Amino acid sequence: MLDFGKNILKSQPFSLLIKAELTAFKTGSAEISLAIRDELKQQHGFVHGGVVSYLADNCLTYAGGSVLGDCVTLEYKINYLRPAIGHTLIARATVLSSGKRQAVCECKVFALSEDGESLVAAAQGTISKLT
């Protein structure tokens, strides 16, 4: 399943641009990581919120897709909890509930540094199966 998911990620131009990597993908969950580079930071020196949001959105959709098949994000909400500072970001999403056409998923985004993991954002979204 991981190889299948990696092939999907390779077909996403934005994911390739920022060099995101699918690191785990199984029924009910997904994980995407991203090395932090200067090009992804905003003027205060931490990762731009749009990049953190991308990770949450894409990881939510992977988790939902693991139970629904081909799908898209219907909606999601994100809370930024602290600045994303470190060397790597990791988004981890799980399915909370799923039916035939939709799944509700949650995602936590962590920044990894020499001091360990820090939770930088939490998101929840509804993922919809494509017809």
pLDDT > 70 fraction of the chain, expressed in percent and rounded? 100
Positive or negative CA dihedral for 115, 116, 122, 126? positive
Mean pLDDT of the region 56-84: 98
Round to whole Å and give the CA distance between 3 and 8. Answer: 9
Q: For residue 118, what is the domain's CATH number? A: 3.10.129.10
Mean pLDDT of the region 66-84: 98
Domain, as residue range, for 86 = 2-129
- Round the average pLDDT of the chain to a whole number and report it: 97
Q: What is the structure's pLDDT at 131?
A: 78
The amino acid sitting at 61 is: T
Domains held by the chain: number: 1
Q: What is the structure's pLDDT at 116?
A: 96
Longest dimension (CA), the chain: 45
pTM greater than the 0.85 cutoff = yes
